[in-house]
Structure 1
Amino acid sequence: MKKLVTLVLIIFLLLGSATSIHAEEADGVKEQVIYSIFVDRFNNIDRSRDKQVDIDDPNAYHGGDIQGIIDKLDYIKELGFTTISLSSIMENSPNGYHGYWIEDFFKVEEEFGTLEDVRKLVNEAHEKGIKVILEFVPNYVSEDHPFADDSSKTKSNTTTDALWLDGAVTLNQENEDVKKMLLEAADFWLNETDIDGFQLHAIEQSSITFLKEFVNHVKEVKPTIYLTGTVLNPDKLTEEYLDAGIPLVEYAPLQEAMVNVLTNVGTPPSDIYKKWEESGKRTGLVYIDNKFTDRFTRKIVESGQNPLTTWKLALAYLYTTPGVPLIYQGSEIPMDGDTQEEVQQLVQFNNSDPDLHDFFNKIAAIRTQFPVLSHGKFELVDSNGAMSVFKRYDDNETMFIAINNDVKTRSVLVEDVPEGMQLTGLIGDDIVRKNDDEKYKIGVDRESVEIYITEKDTGLNWVYIGMIVGVFLIFVLFIIMLSLKQRRRDQKPL
């Protein structure tokens, strides 16, 4: 039965993602599951381009390229991702593997490939039902960029402490030439490659006037555009930036809360919910690590926990909480590391954990199959010890998410289930029916998760039970026949 449920979910995911690419609603970004790719550190296939590659130097190119992403599109789709978000691929100064030392906004960095390679990537991704977002860096250029020596086009760099920006110059976005160049660059990538949108780097570092103009401009060019935003300094992220028209923005305090709770067994997941409430119930990009943070796996190992178990708890929260899950490349392995060199190394595809790989697929299938997990209201039902139960619901669907971060089995009583319904688990095939007190007792093993749908309570599944009984009887008859045959053989005279 469990295998059958999994198979149905996977089939739904494959069929659904193949048609979703034709959707014409920009709001569809809220239904995505995003895989974040650091291009130079993903997959090196085209070794003819490795002119600046030195894998022993953490500050040099390591060889990841566009062809390496193309070769892994089936792998990405199999994991259940519907969108890939690429780090900046524009032409950079030497050793600008990260993409933030841009020399030319209208060219592809030759270490990564050509414009034709990008077109091929986008085309093949679209054929597989995968959207492509490109990181756009509107605030900085390389010290070698033509604008760098023009004081009217630049301003003092206030973010030199940020990784990689010590070799960059801050643009004056109020300058008409700068503004014109950035808008034309956005047009170029949208029109020439057919990408689906941009991830805007460090939105709080932009002029709010420019940011709003940029957002309005690209929405006119591509009404269905997907826009996300990253943040370098959360303290500077005012409501004005959140209202600039970018649907999905990072929120570091929520990420920190998830890490702190899930790497400390005995801490209830409801603490993450409280942090979300403190934020004003913001929705945006929901992530647990990225290329700027320690790997979540490193935090798990340091706390003495099992990476596979803890990652399942994290994914259950990431994929069911309001917002869009953003998963950093290699998390499905799961890759480890806390230094820049470790966090940003090439993905170790040969070390993949099949169990975690399957869970990624299954949790993505569940999110895709049930839109309420993308658009429904979100509430904390109750907690018991370090087990918390959450609810996602709308007018048509109600789902319960149980996450037990405790050292022992816990249970929570649920009351607000529609009359005549039962709770059916999608992870472990658990079924919960109303007890004598008119309540539903959800019990989950230690460090485990379950996601429940509400469906009509039809009582015992006699067809399924009959099949099991039938198989058992056939097995018993088979054993009896073998025993009789052996007895006759033993009684036969020599």
Structure 2
Amino acid sequence: MKKLASLILILLIFFGWTNITHSEAPINEEIIYTVFVDRFNNGDPMLSDQVDVDDPTAYHGGDIQGIINKLDYLKQLGFTTISLSSIMKNASDGYHGYWIEDFFAVEEQFGTLDDLKTLVKEAHNRGMKVILEFVPNYVAKSHPFADDPSKIVPTTVSDKMWLDETVTLNLKNKEVKDLLLNAADYWLTEANIDGYNIHAIDQTPIKFLNEFVVHVKKVKPDIYLTGSVLNADDLTEEYLNAGIPLIDNKVMQGSMVNVFANAGTPVKNLYNKWKSIGKRSGLLFVDNKFTTRFTREIVKNGQNPLTTWKIALTYMYMSPGVPMVYQGSAIPMDGNTPEEVQRLVQFNNGDQDLQDFITRLSTIRKQFPLSADGKFELASSNGAISVFKRTNEDTTIFVAINNGKKTEDVSITDVPEGMQLEDLLSGDIVRENDHGKYRIGLDRESVAIYTIEQDKGLNWIFIGAIISVFVVFALVVALLSRKQKTSTE
């Protein structure tokens, strides 16, 4: 029964029957997959002029065609938006996209503008969106602006990763602003992309950021905007209110890693942290191209990556915010050093059970919009197990997560009379006990997502069918035994 339910969920999401079409879903209902283009998938081996897979600072061959080739894979996993790293033309060895020489051209190692148009078209055909990383702060030292003192300022960015060959742009300069705004127009109109992930908004002058947001919204009123953050301490209220709906929630990222990579830590700690930062949601993630892989944090503490990823993803998908999953997480890929974190995705090593789980989570999130914007409460907690309640005007679900090292249980009472809980993941039923409580028990490092339905009591038809099978089996065994006895006589 469980396998059949899983198959139905996979078919629903792959063929789009539970999907909201790509032009209708508000951004807070998206499920984002982030792609580091050069380190994702090599789809066109001919683009190899600068490729050297033995050199961690060189291109490794990932390209736009490689992303096109994996669209069905991403669709099946349930992702609705693909967020690409910078693809603009870079100086030599600028595989990461931050050494920009031309804001109006695709980096030749990644493909062409036509390739990008094809990617966007094919993604849209599958009900998926494509957003590009837009880098407003830096250009390569070989860019024409780098030689003009009026167009650059001393670099003050706190994170120097990949920025050693760049200069920082003066975003107060009119020519600089015009170039960046025109570049933003170019990709929106020429490639029909759906929006931008604005790089390092905390390092971007707030005045320019406000102008940029207003400008691109005029060009594309339904544009999708997200913002990455280098230093969470620099993220003031001005940035949170700059009109970018989804911003990296680095505070929750650190908290999720601390909780889930340390079995036995109470899950309610995440709820308390969320409240302490003003219930800010934003983009929820456990790792990205700048961090150690979450899998490495798990393994370092002697835990099972598959079970730990499942509970972390459940929290990300079912708590306030938008889940953002870094490439290779469905495998799940490991890595500690930048060289390990930035490896090409090892698709041949994927774990099917984890991929099926991600597909089921995606389907549940789409079936229940309240997982994106419903009220979020802590229903009950006991040790390392917690139950969260998501509600909107007409629907309620309970999300139970056991981050413990042993089986744990917890009781809830906030369920209407005459109802029962059914786990969408396993089909298990929880009914009210004699004390008027619903006792939820979970194995170590496991989850359940419950809906409320009418308590129909015992399923006598199903029970009768099972009994009938055993009766028939017993009769067949008796008959065979009798025949064998007769033949020996």
Q: Smaller-chain TM-score range?
A: over 0.9
Aligned partner of 1:379 in structure 2 is 377
CA displacement, residues 368-410 of structure 1 (integer Å, 9 cap, x when unaligned) = 1111111101111221111111111111111111111112111
CA displacement, residues 350-382 of structure 1 (integer Å, 9 cap, x when unaligned) = 111111111111111111111111110111122
- For the residues of structure 2 that align with 1:189 and 1:17, how far apart are their CA atoms? 30
Q: Taking structure 1 as reference, are residues 88 and 203 closer, same or farther at Cα in structure 2, changes over 3 Å only?
A: same
1:2 aligns with 2:14: no
Out of 196, 199, 207, which is 1:198 matched to? Answer: 196
Deviates more, 1:91-100 or 1:214-223: 214-223
Alpha-carbon offset, residue 21 of structure 1: 3.1
- For the residues of structure 2 that align with 1:457 and 1:15, how far apart are their CA atoms? 32
- For the residues of structure 2 that align with 1:17 and 1:176, how far apart are their CA atoms? 48
Out of 413, 416, 421, which is 1:415 matched to? Answer: 413
- For the residues of structure 1 that align with 2:183 and 2:12, how far apart are their CA atoms? 38
- For the residues of structure 2 that align with 1:177 and 1:471, how far apart are their CA atoms? 80
Counterpart amino acid of 2:35? Answer: I
Out of 258, 282, 291, which is 2:256 matched to? Answer: 258
Give the 3-state SS of the residue equivalent to 2:415 in structure 1.
coil
- For the residues of structure 1 that align with 2:22 and 2:65, how far apart are their CA atoms? 25
Aligned partner of 1:434 in structure 2 is 432
Query: After TM superposition, where is structure 1 displaced by more than 6 Å over at least 4 residues in a row?
Result: none
Aligned partner of 1:476 in structure 2 is 474
- For the residues of structure 1 that align with 2:203 and 2:240, how far apart are their CA atoms? 13
Alpha-carbon offset, residue 462 of structure 1: 2.4
Matches within 5 A, 1:239-278: 239-278=237-276
Give the 3-state SS of the residue equivalent to 1:423 in structure 2.
strand
Q: Taking structure 1 as reference, are residues 24 and 361 closer, same or farther at Cα in structure 2, changes over 3 Å only?
A: closer
Alpha-carbon offset, residue 159 of structure 1: 1.5
Aligned partner of 1:187 in structure 2 is 185
Alpha-carbon offset, residue 15 of structure 1: 4.6
Alpha-carbon offset, residue 109 of structure 1: 0.1
Counterpart amino acid of 2:271? Answer: Y
| RMSD after superposition | 1.4
Counterpart amino acid of 1:463? Answer: I
1:425 aligns with 2:423: yes
Out of 350, 362, 386, which is 1:388 matched to? Answer: 386
Contact conserved, 1:404 with 1:410, CA < 8 A, in 2?
A: yes
CA displacement, residues 170-216 of structure 1 (integer Å, 9 cap, x when unaligned) = 11111111111111111110111111111010011111111111111
- For the residues of structure 2 that align with 1:488 and 1:107, how far apart are their CA atoms? 87
Matches within 5 A, 1:69-468: 69-159=67-157, 161-468=159-466
Contact conserved, 2:365 with 2:372, CA < 8 A, in 1?
A: yes
Aligned partner of 1:20 in structure 2 is 20
Alpha-carbon offset, residue 486 of structure 1: 2.4
Identity, in percent, stands at 61
Unaligned runs of 5+ in 2: none
Alpha-carbon offset, residue 461 of structure 1: 2.0
Alpha-carbon offset, residue 478 of structure 1: 2.8
CA displacement, residues 118-173 of structure 1 (integer Å, 9 cap, x when unaligned) = 01111111111111111111111111111111111111110264201121111111
Deviates more, 1:86-95 or 1:267-276: 267-276
Counterpart amino acid of 2:14? Answer: L
Contact conserved, 2:140 with 2:167, CA < 8 A, in 1?
A: yes
Give the 3-state SS of the residue equivalent to 2:182 in structure 1.
helix
| TM-score normalised by length of structure 1 | 0.96
Contact conserved, 1:13 with 1:368, CA < 8 A, in 2?
A: no
Deviates more, 1:281-290 or 1:447-456: 447-456
Counterpart amino acid of 2:95? Answer: Y
Counterpart amino acid of 2:486? Answer: R
Counterpart amino acid of 1:234? Answer: A
- For the residues of structure 1 that align with 2:358 and 2:418, how far apart are their CA atoms? 32
- For the residues of structure 2 that align with 1:472 and 1:225, how far apart are their CA atoms? 60
- For the residues of structure 2 that align with 1:121 and 1:266, how far apart are their CA atoms? 43
Counterpart amino acid of 1:2? Answer: K
Alpha-carbon offset, residue 104 of structure 1: 0.5
Q: Taking structure 1 as reference, are residues 17 and 328 closer, same or farther at Cα in structure 2, changes over 3 Å only?
A: farther
CA displacement, residues 55-94 of structure 1 (integer Å, 9 cap, x when unaligned) = 1111110010001111111111111111111000000000
- For the residues of structure 2 that align with 1:485 and 1:281, how far apart are their CA atoms? 73
- For the residues of structure 1 that align with 2:472 and 2:149, how far apart are their CA atoms? 86
Count of matched residue positions in the alignment of Structure 1 and Structure 2: 489
Contact conserved, 2:9 with 2:359, CA < 8 A, in 1?
A: no
- For the residues of structure 1 that align with 2:128 and 2:216, how far apart are their CA atoms? 21
Counterpart amino acid of 1:445? Answer: D
Q: Taking structure 1 as reference, are residues 274 and 196 closer, same or farther at Cα in structure 2, changes over 3 Å only?
A: same
Alpha-carbon offset, residue 18 of structure 1: 7.7
Deviates more, 1:439-448 or 1:469-478: 469-478
CA displacement, residues 246-286 of structure 1 (integer Å, 9 cap, x when unaligned) = 11100212111111111111111111111111111101100
Counterpart amino acid of 1:285? Answer: L
- For the residues of structure 2 that align with 1:103 and 1:24, how far apart are their CA atoms? 36
Alpha-carbon offset, residue 16 of structure 1: 4.1
Q: Taking structure 1 as reference, are residues 19 and 391 closer, same or farther at Cα in structure 2, changes over 3 Å only?
A: closer
Give the 3-state SS of the residue equivalent to 1:327 in structure 2.
strand
Give the 3-state SS of the residue equivalent to 2:365 in structure 1.
helix
Give the 3-state SS of the residue equivalent to 2:46 in structure 1.
helix
CA displacement, residues 265-308 of structure 1 (integer Å, 9 cap, x when unaligned) = 11111111111111111011000000000000001110001111
Deviates more, 1:169-178 or 1:476-485: 476-485
Unaligned runs of 5+ in 1: none
Counterpart amino acid of 1:92? Answer: N
Contact conserved, 1:16 with 1:368, CA < 8 A, in 2?
A: no
